Amino acid sequence: MFRRKGRPKKNKILLLIDFANLQKNLATTPTAENFSMAAGFDRLFKQISREVGEIDNVFVFASPHLASLWGETFHKLGFFTILCPKVESKSREEIDTTDETLTAFGEKMILQLPELTHLCLGSGDKDFSPLLREAIRKGLKIIVVAGNLNSLSSELIKLADKKPDGTKMVYLFSPTED
């Protein structure tokens, strides 16, 4: 695709969400009257897209149970849902596959989508630091979304890029209607 001379390249953001991490680390528990997962994501996307650029694709990684509960909402929001089942290890303990699946998927998408300018991670989990570092090595800028600042790894904060105003590209998710 050709760009006209002098036109800046448009920002394209890939958003990968560890749904269980966002959900369990909400800053406050919304009341039944103002709870809305869709409104929370709409507000978050409006803020990111206006401040940074176009959110190209959203992939939400969730256990089959959470995907069943929230699948209709994810679908209506245009998310691609990727199931991350718990599996039994050799020692017969249950292992969550979300981190592994999100990381492997993210690495593939970074390589397959050369038009991306930003990787946005919806999780505060420092286990995703290697993925963010790989994205940085590929020239992508980093955005982080967390349920609250206390659940956000200081390592992820350091890896997040800055906005033009000098603040970090760190956003909080709150599933409420205002």
DSSP secondary structure letters along 98-112? HHHHHHHHHHHHHHH
Each residue's pLDDT tens digit, 110-145: 999 999 999 999 999 999 999 999 999 999 999 999
Confidence of residue 90 (pLDDT cuts 50, 70, 90): confident
User: Would you say residue 43 lies in a domain?
Assistant: yes
User: Would you say residue 6 lies in a domain?
Assistant: no
pLDDT at 105 over 50: yes
Report residue 96 as tokens: 């969550």
The residue ranges of DSSP E strands in the chain, in sequence order, are 12-18, 54-62, 80-83, 86-88, 94-96, 118-122, 141-146, 170-172
Q: How far is CA 135 from the centre of its chain?
A: 14
Which residue range(s) make up the domain with 143? Answer: 12-172
First CA to last CA distance, the chain: 40
User: pTM of the entire structure?
Assistant: 0.90
15 to each of 42, 44, 49, how far by Cα in Å?
13, 12, 11
| CATH for 73 | 3.40.50.1010
Looking at residue 5, what is its pLDDT?
Answer: 57
Each residue's pLDDT tens digit, 40-72: 999 999 999 999 999 999 999 999 999 999 999
